[in-house]
Chain A
């Protein structure tokens, strides 16, 4: 094959989703009863409208309320043998792009041309059946991923050796631990030998040791001249494995080029993002209202508002309030929850032995965190203002933020979220020989 030939050509690729229309609410018994009988017809129309886009051609169709462009006019080329990283925030369209290229879903417009045998790996262990043995699942999963029966046969021993579950290969997979299952599944995937490989964030599985093994395997794949399209949030892995990268935002390509430059650009972009954090009309809150929060947001090291702080960097959590009285000895507290709903940490003025005397009017309190010790993930902050008698205001979701990058440790390595709820400063040393 000619080296300069393009393996993937994507031209003006777009994908449009219709998000469901809002439900009607009836204020009368009669109306509700009427709509109950009318609803089958309405439901039918609603379901149909979810995938018909005839009105998109009309002048204002493109901007209709319920239309979401997950991908819009994306064009790029991947040369044969190139390893390309795709990065972007959640909802930027990375997964949609991969799904279209691997033919799982159809684009709304544009096209992609793919030269060569493709295997896509959007999940490890697709089609694994708990009742089947490890051996049987290897064959099933292998053929699902695009290998022929003969190929699986040839690589079977290698796959099993890589996974390290030799002893249990004839046991039904339902008796496996989740770690064993993932290892076996990844081993099958790692032994695919397509001309083009499409991978979505599957390296984020298994324990750290296995992850390292997978990264090594990926390194081999990328050096063996295969074309790879690789989505990840792990900037270290992108830097290490990919020669070029594409950055998506809001369904469009915002940058492409040498991977180290794009990663830098991406981190800078995260660094400067901001959002509105008005709390005046917070839907859920309670308290006697002598003082009310009006805004809550994060400031990064540069003093700019951000929703994507970087682990290891200084972060200020700012709470703006309006007080309707002169209030002595007010305490403020906040709790950070991770996406599993676990309270990661609780910060209160009592920890520093302080109380604030708050005058009538507006003001703000700042909670300073010198080195944000949170692993990658989404978080929400709940805030409270109170005195010794009564809670004045409590907002359970005052602000949310994403940690999508980390400087916490000197190396790019980011501990997997599965094994950490907080980052802890540490160092390692080794003592060998007789002088222990």
Chain B
């Protein structure tokens, strides 16, 4: 049974001990495109299997959080939002935050969760932590509906800032991917990550201007504060959707840090890749 699609020139693979730092082999990754897309599709398809609400969960989760934050921080604590209605203020922040927190959690668990597959078949291990980065975009897309509803309710008209939206989505994906690479590679060696994650995620909500406004941070700490990439992403989304001036002072440092996390994460992941199966 000759296979028509089989290449005439057969590939040569050399298996030998790897050492030191490796850069990502994008050419090799391309061959696994079909598999990557299938795994993304599996994640999407399976996520809400055997639930009554189905994809409505993608709306319910952020919606409930928005409601709680609006009541506690908007009504009770009356947090200063520079004049923006609190509901609007928190919605534009919580939608990207939901994506970030869910993607990072899933990405960090990916290798441990699929350890059975890890030990039985080879494909580039990078695919595991990268899958949620794409798969979670579906939830993100659905939760945009909440955003649209709130924006319409407050009659916020779109501005040219909206053009930054795709850039901010990429920024958000790059950050989740970078953190996911680091954490998944660490989690397979040290299961401490699994126990620290829920706690860390809950803490990180307060490190970014999600419930409060970035302008309430004292001037002298602003640069330090902006090193947290979450700040740039959340403030970026706020400017982009509400039409306030884009705060590049927040965005640029966060972007640089994100690039650093992503590149170092990829290097660390590749360095650790060779021992994954042996330490499961």
Contact = CB atoms under 8 A, between A and B. Distances in A.
B157 interface: no
A148 B34 contact: yes
A144 B117 contact: yes
Find the residue from A99, A105, A126, A129 having the highest chain B CB count within 10 A: A105
Nearest to A15: B278
B55 to A, nearest CB: 15
Interface string A363-382: 00000000000000000000
Interface in B121-136: 121-123
A17 B120 contact: no
Contact of A104 (B42, B121, B189): B121
B10 A195 contact: yes
Contacts of A44: 190
B220 interface: no
Interface string B135-153: 0000000000000000000
Interface residues of B, number: 38
Contacts of A136: 42, 45
Interface string A119-151: 010110011010110001001100111001111
Interface stretch (B14-22, B59-67, B99-107, B234-242): B14-22
A275 to B, nearest CB: 29
Contacts of A151: 3, 5
Contacts of A149: 34, 38
Contact of B38 (A50, A102, A106, A139): A139
B278 A126 contact: no
B46 interface: yes
A214 interface: no
Contacts of A148: 5, 34
Interface in A64-113: 99-113
Nearest to A109: B17
A315 interface: no
B279 A113 contact: no
10 contacts: A103-B122, A104-B120, A106-B18, A117-B6, A123-B120, A131-B49, A144-B38, A149-B34, A151-B3, A193-B6
Interface of A: 1, 17, 44, 47, 50-51, 99-118, 120, 122-123, 126-127, 129, 131-132, 136, 139-140, 143-145, 148-151, 172, 193, 195, 224
Given A117-B6, A126-B120, 9 more contacts: A1-B10, A106-B274, A111-B17, A112-B16, A114-B15, A129-B42, A131-B46, A132-B45, A144-B35
